[in-house]
Every structure is written in C-alpha cells, then in structure tokens.
C-alpha cells in the first residue's frame, strides 16, 4: 500500500503550516489524522477540525478533531497552535512542537481504531467510525517564536471573515456587524481585540514602554495613520521621550476632507507633544505612508527600529492582516534615523494647509528624492542576516512613470533569480497587478515550469485577471477571486455571503474598512540558504516608489525568518482560497463545492495531480520543485 513518505512543519508565532507527501494513492483513505506533539513534555493533542463528512452537519460550529473529521488535503494549518477556538485565550509561545500524520479510513476488523474523545462536542448526523491505515510519520520539530536572531517578527490575527468570530459574538448575545466589530477592536483590554491583534500590539507597547525602563532614551516616529486610543494614551504618558512626524491620513470618503482619520488625535497630540510633533501634510495623491519607529539610547545612538505594514489604528491592529518587525541593530536603526531626519528637513519646505484638512500641493523635494535613490549598503547582523533599506520616493519624476524605480528594480532582480518559489501578500499595488511584484512574480512563474508562485491580494482590482468596467456602459462585471495558471495561484480576500454559504457555514464580514490583507510581503526561496524576505510599508508597486514616503527592507539569508513569513502568507492564502473558489462558483452559477468531506477516497486524485501536489511536495521535500514535478510526470 502507498504510504506517507515525509512531513515537514513550519511556523511563526501565530500558526504552523504542515505539508506531507505520499508515494501514491492510499486505497480507502478518507484523510489524515494530525496530532500536535510537545516533545519537551510529551503532551499530545489532535488538531481541531470543523468541516464534517457529507451527511453530517456542524450547525453550532463546534470543533471536533481530525480523529472525527480527517484532513482531505496534503497540507494543513494548525490554527489553534496559539489561538484557542473554545475561548478567547492564548496557548504559550516559545515552545517546540512537531506533528504526527496518519492516514485513516473506514473502520474494519483487524485495523487499529481511531480513538475518540468522549467529551467531544455533539454534531448532527451518523458517526463514521475510522481506523488507521498505517503508522504515519513524524514531522521535524519547529519552534513557536517571534525571535529570529536580532529580528523579532510578529503578525496580527485580524481576519474578520471567520466562522469563529460569528460564534464568539453570538455567545455574547451580539450580531456580526461592522459596528459591533468596530466597537470591540477600539476598546482597550477587549478580549476580541486582544485575540485579533496577535503579538503586534504587545510589541508596539513594549517599544513605547522601553523609554521608561531606559531613562534618557528617545523614540523617533514616522507614522501614516494614528488614532488608536490605547497607543495614544501611551504616547501621551511618554511625551517627553517622543518626536513624531505624522502625515495626513486619506479621505474617509471622496466627499470628505483630507486627514479624516487622524484629525481628532492630531489636535490632541498638538497639546501633548507640542513642537515635538511635525505635521507632514500632502493632502493629495502623495502620501506619507511610513510606519516606523527608531529607538535611541540616552547617548543618542540608534539601537533598534520597528517597521512593517501595521498602521497604529484599531483596524490596522485588529481588523487586517498585518505584520510588524523589530530589528536590534545600530546600522539598520541609524539608516532609519537618517531617513527620519531627512523627512523632517523635507517637511520644512512644505506649505501648511489652512485648515490642515484642505487640499494641498506639497510633494517630496529633490534633495530627499536624491538621498532616497542612493544605493544603501547591506547591514550584516551577527547571525549572517543581510539587511538592506530602501527609502521612497526614489525617482526624479514626481508622478508614476513606466521605468522601474531603483528599489523595485532590485526586488525584481531577486524575483528573477528565484530558484523554486515566490510567495506574496499585498493590498493593492496597482490595477491588475501591473508594474508591481504581482506582475513580475507571474511573469517569472510563467517562464519557468518548475517555479511555484502563491499570492494573496486584498482588492479585486489587484487580481491579474481583473475585469474593468465597460468603458461605454460603465457596467461592472463580477470579479474573479481566483487566478490559476499551472503552478501559479493567486486569490483575493472575500467573505462568505448569502449567495455562497454552504453546509454548516454562515455568512461572514470581510472588513470594516477598505483593506483586509494589508501586508506588503514577498518571500523568495524560503527553504534555501539564499532566501529573501521583502517587507515594510511599501505597497510593492511603481506608484509607491514614485509618489509616497515609504520604507522597504530586503532581508537575506535568514531561513527561520523567511519560513515564518512564508507561513503567514500561506495562512492568509489558504484562509481565502476556499472562500474565493466559492465566490467564483457562485458568480458562474455553478453548483457550490461546499468543502464537505467525502466518504470515499475519490478526494485523493485531484490532490495527487501534478500542479496541485507541487506545493506539498516542495515543502515536505525540502525545496525541490523540479523534482516534485518530475516525480509526477511533468516536463520540467
């Protein structure tokens, strides 16, 4: 009988991603039972599962385990690694886990029965007794941590289109509405807010408190959006240690004024910070999009820098997919401090709008653009990680042109040199992904049959198969939510609604703002020593490089970090993939798949197909895409 040949796990501080390979169809296999093991204590826990077999229902969305509802895929996310689903509480981090994967089928005499938890929640329908079809395999041990040498990486858990969120609110007697969610995520110490922020909010707070524990130290902040009351309160408490460059936020609506988000807190910060606050007001198509903070010690030496995609707002912290990184390195922190100083000097030439919310014509000046366009040296961290900072705007032209800007030219070169895999998660770099990392990743993937490309985007307009409104009639078309081309796969964020809910699923809420995937991430060859992570505030399209204040980090050679970011991208991708497929089927008026488990082994054939199994084979096999595809008979 065919068997599982190997399994491999990857993790960050939020979730783990597990993939395994089999050497052929396993007769009678109804899926896989997955057990999380804590080697340091010997504790074992089967993973939670929510989707039942056909003929069963889970109307209360109660978790069973993979011993009741096995996994009918060759990869899986451990969503309850840190975040429990039975209560809004965390499991500990800084622990090591590994996984046991075993194939299961219908129980027959002579086979080892799958043990059941007698306390498992009830579900409707006839139980299906299961038995193991083999011993299975153990994965590698993986550390659940946010520490990667001198770099700390954290991720929000702010995906709102989730069945658990509706259930959690229902248990509180509340409905799943944008207003309800907004109230929860805006309230300090709220348990739903804390659940959704992941470790990002704690990292931001820790940095703000650091000036208290190190007297005389200072924070230099350059922020785009700032109106989270919890963070504002901490800024006020540390007012003497903070200098802030605060740009205008966008318009809340085309008919409203500029700075609609920041303006109330800006007035408060005038009183709190006084001359230590610099208003950097564009009030036009240019934006001051940075989200970085430099920590200086009492001697004025830059020691650390925090950056990422997270805006300091309730939505940024708890209503979007975001990341935040802290780097403890003088060279990297000094490069950011120089950028901060140059931004402040550039702002001195701005005309102050009257009122501050009025339309403006300020743009970044040539001295700043020239400084930003310089090639920046690679800072080498003690563990061999190389870090390069790119600052934007870094072009002579002040509006978007067709020539690749210098920062993205380097990113494009890295994408072109990818050996096996490219992963990305982005908001809306451009229409149809043109002149952005989306287009470039697809171009390279299309030219190479042995290249994996997996991406997730927030906005329908960013999809490579986006259909613009008719130029004559202005009629809007249903927008595709999935793009597949061989081993290239892109999905966009969608929620289940009344037209595409199936089985035990209920309709969801996608977002309370515009963005839901707000990350700006590219990961290249994460299983290789030559891996690269691209991250920061930069939206990864030409417009950002030509018109916006941005920072972009290129981080080379840190495999644990690259795999943590890959895990985040795959977590986001997998969450939206099912929903995206449902949306496309609903738009095409096709029968909805439903995602229910089938009661025979017919599910295996599609998952053993060449393109569909390539990701699992790449991950479980240690990074050889060509070998994975050739093994399945595809010409490489």
Q: Which pLDDT tens digit goes with each residue over 11-27? A: 999 999 999 999 999 99
The domain of 623 spans 4-145+610-631
User: At residue 627, does pLDDT exceed 60?
Assistant: no
Asked if residue 333 belongs to a domain, the reply is yes
Q: What is the pLDDT of residue 595?
A: 78
Asked if residue 343 belongs to a domain, the reply is yes
Same domain, 440 and 564: yes
Same domain, 288 and 433: no
pLDDT tier at 636 (50, 70, 90 boundaries)?
Answer: very low
Same domain, 485 and 420: yes
Same domain, 92 and 152: no
Which 3 state secondary structure label does DSSP give 629? helix
β-strand 379-380 against 532-536: which pairing, if any?
A: unpaired
Angle between helix axes 200-213 and 229-237 (nearest 10 degrees) is 10
User: At residue 633, does pLDDT exceed 50?
Assistant: no
Q: What is the pLDDT of residue 421?
A: 98
C-beta of residue 34 within 8 angstroms of C-beta of residue 46:
yes
Q: How far apart are CA 417 and CA 403, in angstroms?
A: 20
User: At residue 585, does pLDDT exceed 50?
Assistant: yes
C-beta of residue 527 within 8 angstroms of C-beta of residue 421:
yes
Other CB atoms closer than 10 Å to residue 190's CB: what's the count?
Answer: 18
Same domain, 404 and 352: no
Q: What percentage of the chain reaches a pLDDT higher than 70?
A: 97
User: At residue 630, does pLDDT exceed 80?
Assistant: no
Q: How far apart are CA 344 and CA 415, in angstroms?
A: 33
Kindly state the helix (H) or strand (E) to which residue 274 belongs, with its residue range.
none
Of 336, 362, 388, which residue is a domain's last? 362
Which CATH number goes with the domain that contains 514?
A: 3.30.870.10
C-alpha distances in angstroms, 236 versus 88, 115, 246, 274, 544?
29, 55, 15, 11, 31
Kindly state the helix (H) or strand (E) to which residue 567 belongs, with its residue range.
helix 559-587
Asked if residue 431 belongs to a domain, the reply is yes
Asked if residue 190 belongs to a domain, the reply is no
Q: How far apart are CA 112 and CA 521, in angstroms?
A: 45
More confident residue, 255 or 135: 135
Same domain, 13 and 126: yes
User: Lowest mean pLDDT: which of 75-79, 236-240, 583-587?
Assistant: 583-587
Alpha helices in 348-500 (DSSP H): 366-372, 406-416, 437-447
Q: How far is CA 347 from the centre of its chain?
A: 32
Within 8 A by CB and 6+ apart from 176, the residues are 165, 166, 169, 170, 508, 509
CB burial readout 134-166, b (16+ within 10 A) else e: bebbbbeebebbbebbbbbbbbbbbbbbbbbbb
Same domain, 275 and 391: no
Evaluated on CA atoms 151, 454, 522, 445, the torsion sign reads: positive
Whole-number average pLDDT of the chain: 93
**What is the number of alpha carbons within 13 Å of residue 281 lying toward its C-beta?**
23
pLDDT tier at 624 (50, 70, 90 boundaries)?
Answer: low
User: At residue 535, does pLDDT exceed 70?
Assistant: yes
Within 8 A by CB and 6+ apart from 86, the residues are 63
Q: What is the pLDDT of residue 612?
A: 81
User: At residue 356, does pLDDT exceed 60?
Assistant: yes
pLDDT tier at 253 (50, 70, 90 boundaries)?
Answer: confident
Give the total residue count for the chain: 636
Closest CA relative to residue 220, chosen from 102, 121, 300, 331: 300
Same domain, 340 and 402: no
Q: How far apart are CA 12 and CA 98, in angstroms?
A: 13
pLDDT tier at 632 (50, 70, 90 boundaries)?
Answer: very low
Q: What is the pLDDT of residue 635?
A: 31
Which 3 state secondary structure label does DSSP give 550? strand
- The DSSP symbol for 597 reads B
| Residue pointed to by tokens 């980090």 | 553
Of 314, 338, 362, which residue is a domain's last? 362
Q: How far apart are CA 199 and CA 190, in angstroms?
A: 15
Same domain, 298 and 383: no
Q: What percentage of the chain reaches a pLDDT higher than 90?
A: 81
Q: What is the pLDDT of residue 626?
A: 56
Q: What is the pLDDT of residues 112-164, one digit of tens each?
A: 999 987 777 789 999 999 999 999 999 999 999 999 999 999 999 889 888 98
User: At residue 631, does pLDDT exceed 70?
Assistant: no
pLDDT tier at 506 (50, 70, 90 boundaries)?
Answer: confident
Which 3 state secondary structure label does DSSP give 70? coil
Same domain, 490 and 530: yes
CB burial readout 430-464, b (16+ within 10 A) else e: bebbebbbbbbbbebbeebebbbbbbbbbbbbbbb
Which CATH number goes with the domain that contains 20?
A: 2.60.40.10
Task: Select, from the ranges 30-34, 261-265, 354-358, 446-450, the one with the highest average predicted confidence (pLDDT).
Answer: 30-34
Task: Select, from the ranges 211-215, 389-393, 631-635, the one with the highest average predicted confidence (pLDDT).
Answer: 389-393
Asked if residue 60 belongs to a domain, the reply is yes
Closest CA relative to residue 93, chosen from 153, 133, 19, 49: 153
Within 8 A by CB and 6+ apart from 354, the residues are none
Which 3 state secondary structure label does DSSP give 213? helix
Q: What is the pLDDT of residues 83-97, one digit of tens each?
A: 887 777 788 899 999
User: At residue 344, does pLDDT exceed 50?
Assistant: yes
Asked if residue 166 belongs to a domain, the reply is no
pLDDT tier at 430 (50, 70, 90 boundaries)?
Answer: very high
Asked if residue 369 belongs to a domain, the reply is no
* Number of domains within the chain: 3
Same domain, 255 and 332: yes
Same domain, 537 and 497: yes
pLDDT tier at 610 (50, 70, 90 boundaries)?
Answer: confident
Asked if residue 617 belongs to a domain, the reply is yes
C-alpha distances in angstroms, 517 versus 253, 427, 441, 593?
20, 6, 18, 25
Q: What is the pLDDT of residue 449?
A: 85
- Cross-strand pairs, 460: none
User: At residue 628, does pLDDT exceed 60?
Assistant: no
Region 180-192 average pLDDT: 95
């Amino acid at each position: 009988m065919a068997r599982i040949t190997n399994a491999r796990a990857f993790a960050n501080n939020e979730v783990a991603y597990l993939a395994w390979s089999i050497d052929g169809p396993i007769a009678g296999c109804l899926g896989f039972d997955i057990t999380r093991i804590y080697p340091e204590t010997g504790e074992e826990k089967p993973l939670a599962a929510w989707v039942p077999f056909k003929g069963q229902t889970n109307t209360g969305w109660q978790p069973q385990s993979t011993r009741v509802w096995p996994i009918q895929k060759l990869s899986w996310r451990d969503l309850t690694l840190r975040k429990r689903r039975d209560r809004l509480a965390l499991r500990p981090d800084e622990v090591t886990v590994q996984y046991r994967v075993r194939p299961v089928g219908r129980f027959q005499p002579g086979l080892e029965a799958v043990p059941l938890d007698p306390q498992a929640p009830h579900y409707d329908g006839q139980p299906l007794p299961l038995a193991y079809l083999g011993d299975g395999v153990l994965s590698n041990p993986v550390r659940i941590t946010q520490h990667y040498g001198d770099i700390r990486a954290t991720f929000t858990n702010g995906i709102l289109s989730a069945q658990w969120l509706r259930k959690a609110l229902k248990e509180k007697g509340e409905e799943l509405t944008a207003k309800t969610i907004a109230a929860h995520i805006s309230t300090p110490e709220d348990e739903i807010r804390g659940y959704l922020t992941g470790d990002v909010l704690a990292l931001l707070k820790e940095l703000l408190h650091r000036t208290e524990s190190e007297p005389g130290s200072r924070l230099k902040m350059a922020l785009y959006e700032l109106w989270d009351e919890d963070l504002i309160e901490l800024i006020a408490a540390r007012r003497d240690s903070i200098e802030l460059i605060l740009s205008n936020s966008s318009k809340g609506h085309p008919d409203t004024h500029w700075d609609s988000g920041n303006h109330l807190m800006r007035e408060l910060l005038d009183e709190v910070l006084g001359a230590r606050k610099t208003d950097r007001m564009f009030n036009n198509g240019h934006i001051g999009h940075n989200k970085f903070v430099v920590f200086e010690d009492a001697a004025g030496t830059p020691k650390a820098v925090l950056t990422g995609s997270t805006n300091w707002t309730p939505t940024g912290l708890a209503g979007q997919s975001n990341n935040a990184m802290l780097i403890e390195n003088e060279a990297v922190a000094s490069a950011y401090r120089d950028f901060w100083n140059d931004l402040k000097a550039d702002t001195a030439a701005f005309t102050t709008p009257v009122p501050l919310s009025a339309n403006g014509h300020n743009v970044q000046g040539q001295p700043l653009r020239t400084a930003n366009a310089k090639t920046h040296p690679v800072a080498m961290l003690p563990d061999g990680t190389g870090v390069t900072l790119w600052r934007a705007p870094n072009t002579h032209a002040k509006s978007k042109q067709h020539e690749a800007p210098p920062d993205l030219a380097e990113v494009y070169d890295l994408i072109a040199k990818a050996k096996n895999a490219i992963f990305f998660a982005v908001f809306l770099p451009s229409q149809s992904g043109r002149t952005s990392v989306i287009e470039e990743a697809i171009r390279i993937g299309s030219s190479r049959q042995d290249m994996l490309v997996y991406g997730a985007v927030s906005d329908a307009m960013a999809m490579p198969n986006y259909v613009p409104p008719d130029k004559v009639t202005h009629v809007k078309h249903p927008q595709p939510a999935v793009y597949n081309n061989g081993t290239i796969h892109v999905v966009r964020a969608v929620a289940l609604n009344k037209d595409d809910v199936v089985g035990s699923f209920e309709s969801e809420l996608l977002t309370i703002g515009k963005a839901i995937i707000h990350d700006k991430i590219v990961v290249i060859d994460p299983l290789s020593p030559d891996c690269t992570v691209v991250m920061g505030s930069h939206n990864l399209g030409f417009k950002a490089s030509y018109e916006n204040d941005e920072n972009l980090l290129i981080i080379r050679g840190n495999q644990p970090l690259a795999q943590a970011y890959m895990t985040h991208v795959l977590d986001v991708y997998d969450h939206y993939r099912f929903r995206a497929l449902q949306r496309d089927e609903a738009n095409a008026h096709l029968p909805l798949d439903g995602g229910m488990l089938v009661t025979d082994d017919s599910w295996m054939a599609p998952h053993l197909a060449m393109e569909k199994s390539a990701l699992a084979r790449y991950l479980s096999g240690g990074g050889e895409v060509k070998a994975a595809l050739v093994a399945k008979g595809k010409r490489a």
